[in-house]
Amino acid sequence: MTPDVVDRLIEHGHLDTVVATARSGEWFSAAGAVKELATQRDWESAWEVLAPFAETRWWHAIKVAADLLERQGRVDEAVGLVRAQAEGGERLAWSALARLLARHGRVDEAIEVLRPHLEDWLLLEALAEAAEGHGRDEEVTELLRPAVEDKLRTGEPWNAVILMGRVLERQGRVDEALDLLRHSNEADQYSFANEVEEFTAMLARHDRLEELRELAAEPDGGYAACALADRLAQRGRIDEGIAILRGAPGKWLSKVVHDLVRLLAESGRVDEIVEAARPEMEGRDCGCLLTEVVDVLVANGRAGEALDLIAEMARHHEHDENLVDSLGHQRLMLLAETGRLDEAIAEASTPAEDPYGFRADSLARLLEKAGRADEAIAVLIESGHNPSYAAGLLIERGRVEEAVAICRRPSATPAIAPSATDERHEECPF
């Protein structure tokens, strides 16, 4: 069961169903049920659902348990639970423990927890964030210094210079922060784009616009141009910002063009968007940028132009099968947007190979748009793709048992706790 299906079930009043699937070993059902029960302050039921998962000592279930304890004011118990995980070797638990302690004013303990682990970029981040607002930035600066020296020498921890810059900035030591970032950026061997972006964003935050102008004129000045343009737009000088982006050099061109499209849309200059984006859309896999441009056109009542643009880009990238398939889906949606829904359904219904389910998904969405939800469900079930979408439609129609059935992962024995290597399980439901 995926989180969106769990949320849909709860929204439609089927918490009992979610609890039942949680009891059979579905983690997302358990996470969603615990979240809802905690909102209702039904702590006893929440613990009953969570207990089998927490008993496995799987970190993500323990994290939810600690959050439940914290919400009930049982902070020491929460700290003990997370500390045991950290001392047992769970890296994420060190970060969670420091943040938990800091939330409750125990900053000394938070810093001591992290002090032995400051070669780890994740725990460096926890240190900088947990200490914020507690008057400990001088100490944090000194703790960060060895990691900064390592970064300048070896490239790791990758975020040490960025974090030091942020801590210096919040102390009011902006020039020092900028000098450090500038020095790191100029050390070509271990300079990263995220440091360049941090540096230019800091210049913008402090209205160092002339410095940004000088950087924006350099061959690698794309990020500076974006930061300058955004700051000018914030100050009501959006046309000037657009001009800066139009004249920006080629490096990091994708970000420059995305920002240009956004500012043109914000300023109402929709006529200029397609031509501004065309070189980038023609020059590489243009899926994200094209979607952005299409959305702007549709939002401004120009779905016909968006349809023409989709066709043009499909011809231009005809050898990229995945992109062409994706553009085909967008084209069908745009046909419906322009009042040609029956034509779109007929086209999507034409038999064709559909290994990734694009066509089935398109047809289902068109059928749903036409008020033919039962047919949409049938298409999705037959294709075997996108069970979450099918489940959502089934839930809307009150067919809850069917929705649950198509979402259950086939398994001989349901596992209480999914693999901790699955990143989808890392987000706590609170």
Q: What gap in Å lies between CA 272 and CA 285, rounded to an integer?
A: 21
Task: Single out the residue of 216, 212, 191 nearest to residue 203, CA to CA.
Answer: 212
Q: What gap in Å lies between CA 367 and CA 361, rounded to an integer?
A: 10
Angle at CA of residue 321, ends 328 and 407, nearest 5°:
70
Q: What gap in Å lies between CA 127 and CA 132, rounded to an integer?
A: 9
User: What are 46's two structure tokens?
Assistant: 């929440």
By the 10 Å C-beta count (0-12 exposed, 13-18 middle, 19+ buried), 207 is classed as: exposed
Task: Single out the residue of 187, 196, 207, 205 nearest to residue 162, CA to CA.
Answer: 196
Which own/partner contact pairs does 35-39 have at CB distance under 8 Å and 24+ positions apart?
A: 35/429, 35/430, 36/10, 38/68, 38/71, 38/430
DSSP-derived letter for residue 307 is: H
pLDDT for res 187? 79
Task: Single out the residue of 430, 429, 364, 358 nearest to residue 391, CA to CA.
Answer: 364
Angle at CA of residue 64, ends 17 and 105, nearest 5°:
145
Q: Are 129 and 110 in contact (CB under 8 A)?
A: no
pTM > 0.75: yes or no = yes
Residue 209 CB contacts under 8 Å (≥ 6 apart), including other chains: 203, 228, 231, 232
User: What are 354's two structure tokens?
Assistant: 């559909």
Count the neighbouring beta carbons within 10 Å of the beta carbon of residue 266.
13
Q: What gap in Å lies between CA 420 and CA 214, rounded to an integer?
A: 47
Q: Are 172 and 193 in contact (CB under 8 A)?
A: no
Q: What gap in Å lies between CA 99 and CA 414, rounded to an integer?
A: 33
Query: What DSSP letter does each residue of 100-161 carry, written as one string?
Result: HHHHTT-HHHHHHHHGGGTTSHHHHHHHHHHTTTTT-HHHHHHHHHHHHHHHHHHS-STTHH
Query: pLDDT 10s per residue in the chain (430 long)?
Result: 899 999 999 999 999 999 999 999 999 999 999 999 999 999 999 999 999 999 999 999 999 999 999 999 999 999 999 999 999 999 999 999 999 999 999 999 999 999 999 999 999 999 999 999 999 999 999 999 999 999 999 999 999 999 999 999 999 999 999 999 999 988 766 667 899 999 999 999 999 999 999 999 998 899 999 999 999 999 999 999 999 999 997 666 789 999 999 999 999 999 999 999 999 898 876 778 999 999 999 999 999 999 999 999 999 998 888 888 888 999 999 999 999 999 999 999 998 887 778 889 999 999 999 999 999 999 999 999 899 999 999 999 999 999 999 998 554 334 454 544 444 444 434 3
Domain boundaries, the chain: 359-412
Q: What gap in Å lies between CA 81 and CA 71, rounded to an integer?
A: 14
Q: What gap in Å lies between CA 215 and CA 230, rounded to an integer?
A: 15
Residue 255 CB contacts under 8 Å (≥ 6 apart), including other chains: 222, 223, 226
pLDDT for res 191? 65
Q: What gap in Å lies between CA 337 and CA 329, rounded to an integer?
A: 13
Sign of the C-alpha dihedral computed for residues 288, 122, 120 and 186 taken in this order: positive
Count the neighbouring beta carbons within 10 Å of the beta carbon of residue 426.
11
